[in-house]
Amino acid sequence: MVKKGKEITEIVVNLLFSVVVISLLLYSFKRYAMVKGTILGAGTLPVLIGILVLIFSILNLIRAFKKYFTVSDHEEQIEIEEETLPDSRFSRFDLIIRKYRVIISIIITIIYTLLMSVLGFIIATLLFIPAMLYLLEYRAFWKVVLISILGTAFLYLSFGIFLGVSLPVGLIFK
- Condensed to tens digits (0 to 9), the pLDDT of residues 16-42 reads 888 888 888 888 777 776 666 666 766
Segment holding 1, helix H or strand E: none
pLDDT at 112: 94
What does the alpha-carbon distance between residue 165 and residue 174 come to, in Å, rounded to a whole number?
18
In the chain, alpha helices (H): 2-31, 44-70, 73-84, 92-99, 101-119, 121-135, 141-155
CA distances from 89 to 18, 93, 95, 144 (A): 36, 12, 10, 21
DSSP 8-class letter at 32: S
More confident residue, 76 or 128: 128
Q: What is the pTM of this model?
A: 0.55
What are the phi and psi torsion angles at 54 (to 5°)? -65, -40
